[in-house]
Structure 1
Amino acid sequence: MTSEQKDTLKNRLDENYAAFIDSLQGKTVSELIAMAPEITAVQQLHEELLDACDDDDAAFLLRFDDPLEVVRGYWESEITGYDHSGEMGHMLWRIREDNQDEFEQQDEKPFDRDEIILDPVMDFSGKEVAAYIEIGFDVGRRFQVYPNLDDSYGLYVKYDPVSQALRAELCIEDGYDGGKRWETVLLLPSEQKMIIGLMEEVCQKDMGRSLRDTWTDHHPAINREKPHLKKNGRCQHER
């Protein structure tokens, strides 16, 4: 396209665009909303049409007094009639990536006692108290771990009554072949406190002793010289 053709077409498109914008003055909000596809098409064409034209295109468009309006109707049908689901899917992926950290923090709503189906089943035979807890909340939303629909899952925790450190893993059992996978998860402080309190209650109810005292009775290092004192280190209580 010659520079003269380009300048002439640019000036005409600018004039057409200015006239279109002027025609919007005085329209109501509802009228402008109804015209949204038309406004979008005109704006895109004003910004990009010139760069899309070759010599023949420019010569053809210059035959019209309002080339912007001539092209607008065709372009509007293109952008409104085309399936944009692919582009929208990519856009949504970008939004998720850009906001992932923020929303993960928002999604960390602690689970509560009502979402524990059974009280802990505890094992005191190791160096830490191990407990299995059957849970009934959405682990995908809480931990960003996503089992299949047929899978079962439970929460395993290991607690050291001396250091008061607690670790947790999610055990996910494949509903199809029974295979298991383990996912380390981080419990919020309120969740840790609630679980330790629940373990304490079960010990008091079933063993008649505190969690720490029960653990001391069965700790392998503490009792290795007195194996005859070691008791059965499991307790269970259904809610």
Structure 2
Amino acid sequence: MKRNIVIATLTATALAGGTVAAFAAGDDGPAARDRAGTNVQVVSDRDDDTADADDTGDDAADDRTAVRSSTVTAAEAVAAALRHTPGTAVSAGLEDDGADAGTWGVEVVRGDGAEYDVKVSGTGKVLGAQRDTDDDNDNDSDKDDRAEFAALKGAKFDAAEAAVAAAAKGTVTEVGADEENGAVAWSVETVKDGGASEWKVALDTGEVTQDHSDDD
């Protein structure tokens, strides 16, 4: 899955100590089920019925192992992260290997433009939030980043709702903002029946379609 994560650097020059990361430990309990709007539209492509067999390799196997290690959904992980670190969630991904397998990494951009990586355990507990300063001084992509973040701020469907919409296609292991040909949408990866598939979820309607952008 393309990991085109929105890097919002809206107020980089106003943040002191640009290379210093702040870490805050959390003690949130298990996340409650996130809201699922009744107006979510799931639109199937012609080959959606076979889409879940897109990837049967090692990556899909790792995803399945990670899913078994977590008892919270992508939407629940996003909700827990936002309770701990309020802002706009721009991505969430399930770790699939090592000691962190089964935990969620949620990227949150706060109102002041600071970006945080929030780690949520497989039981829904927030383990901590670390500020990401890697791109604070990268001015080349500021314009594109601002446009993508503005699209998310005005979206009717946020990351949690996109995950809920795509859950009809399988278990969501990753959700993130993706820009293609000037249009921003949610890109969601799911696993089902031994395979992994990728989907696009429209920001304004919640419409789910199969992502063919990586097809040969």
TMscore range, shorter length? under 0.3
Q: Structure 1-normalised TM-score?
A: 0.24
* Structure in which a larger fraction of residues adopt helix: 1
Q: Structure 2-normalised TM-score?
A: 0.26
Structure with higher Rg: it is 1
